[in-house]
Amino acid sequence: MSSADRPQGPPTQTYDSAFLKACRREPVPHTPVWFMRQAGRSLPEYRRLREGIAMLDSCMRPDLVTEITLQPVRRHGVDAAIFFSDIVVPLKAIGIDLDIKPGVGPVVAQPVRTRADLERLRPLEPADVSYVTEAVGMLTAELGGTPLIGFAGAPFTLASYLVEGGPSRNHEHTKALMYGDPELWADLLDRLAEITASFLRVQIEAGASAVQLFDSWVGALAPADYRSRVMPASVKVFEATAGYGVPRIHFGVGTGELLELMGEAGADVVGADWRVPLDEAARRVGPGRAIQGNLDPAVLFAPREAVETQARSVLDAARDLPGHVFNLGHGVLPQTDPDALTRLVAYVHEQTAR
């Protein structure tokens, strides 16, 4: 995305933030930092607020969503907020019977495996998630110049929960459907692309400054299968969210072999996990895209000096890249010491101050 794509009208308060500049590959005052899963789990103030409230219920309460989203911004001084929600919220909103079980993750009552099951996936209307519109509005007012990142699950990753019925290591039912009934699979991914695109547009239209498409589990696929069986649905999501002047970030875990195709799928920024150095990730993603990542989240359990050494090597690998957003290679692990995250933000800012 270039400055020429800047939407008409008054510039938003967040336009000149380090985060959005890095997404546009413009010079930055310092390398911007945010962390996937920065809200929640690792923060004692989050655990207190959530006591006695089920995960999905908390996602539907704009007051709680606003407070939880702001907590890591206040505590760590990160350069962007990520909207507190979950990738399965839009599925719940269209009436899929699912729950987020503590210590497990999303669990779907009746897995989606047949053509008849597909009929349960109706389109998402903005009115289905009015609490999201409301919370984004409250947040952008509170955040001022700090950008808010909206997000959604990508079609493959959502399909993996729907088809398996819950978290899965090997995605065997998902792959059985993908190889066994390619037509049903394509229709499933196409419906999920529509739902995901609607969910992202709701967040953009309510005022989110950027969006991230989480394809967390897509690294389970070989490139040829990704290209023919999954990428078309992700491309559809990026096409449906183009033209807003809002950067779109594309992330998955274990995607070293997929980065080239993910670069082609249409995002403005591609996230890499810790398995590929960022200069190599950028080479694979190709020109014209910013890069996000990629400190191993487990490194935060090491002593401070070791964290800084590892963070330094991420910064060194990104030194010649126009457009680097510092992040972890995947989400903050629940047992992470929040102070280690606060120190890491300060370290990256100090090391990259221009």
- Residues that are catalytic: 37, 41, 50, 86, 161
306: its two tokens: 């070791």
What is the DSSP annotation of 294-307? Answer: EE-GGGGGS-HHHH
| Closer Cβ to ligand 1CP, 15 or 301, answer by number | 301
128 annotated binding-site participant: no
Least distance to ligand 1CP, CB of residue 293, Å: 13
The residue behind tokens 């010079």 is: 27
| Closer Cβ to ligand 1CP, 25 or 68, answer by number | 68
Least distance to ligand 1CP, CB of residue 41, Å: 5
Beta strands 98-101 and 324-328, pairing class:
unpaired
**6 Rama class: left (phi>0) / alpha (psi -120 to 50) / beta:** beta
Residue 188 identity (one-letter amino acid): L
330 annotated binding-site participant: yes
| Closer Cβ to ligand 1CP, 86 or 128, answer by number | 86
DSSP H or E stretch at residue 238: helix 231-240
39 annotated binding-site participant: yes
| Closer Cβ to ligand 1CP, 25 or 262, answer by number | 262
81 annotated binding-site participant: no
Least distance to ligand 1CP, CB of residue 104, Å: 7
| Closer Cβ to ligand 1CP, 87 or 259, answer by number | 87
Cα first-last separation, the chain: 23
Least distance to ligand 1CP, CB of residue 245, Å: 23
Least distance to ligand 1CP, CB of residue 273, Å: 10
15 annotated binding-site participant: no
Distance CA 329, CA 323 (A): 17
Tell me if 155 sits within 8 A of 230, measured CB to CB.
Answer: yes
40 annotated binding-site participant: yes
Residue 145 identity (one-letter amino acid): G
Binding site for ligand 1CP (CB under 6 A): 36-41, 55, 82, 84, 86-87, 100, 102, 105-106, 151, 167, 214, 216, 331
38 annotated binding-site participant: yes
Residue/partner pairs of 260-266 with CB below 8 Å, 24 or more apart: 260/223, 260/284, 260/285, 260/286, 261/223, 261/226, 261/227, 261/231, 262/215, 263/289, 264/231, 265/231, 265/234, 265/235, 265/238, 266/234, 266/235, 266/238, 266/239, 266/242
Distance CA 104, CA 108 (A): 12
| Closer Cβ to ligand 1CP, 25 or 207, answer by number | 207
Residues making up the binding site: 37-41, 86, 161, 216, 330
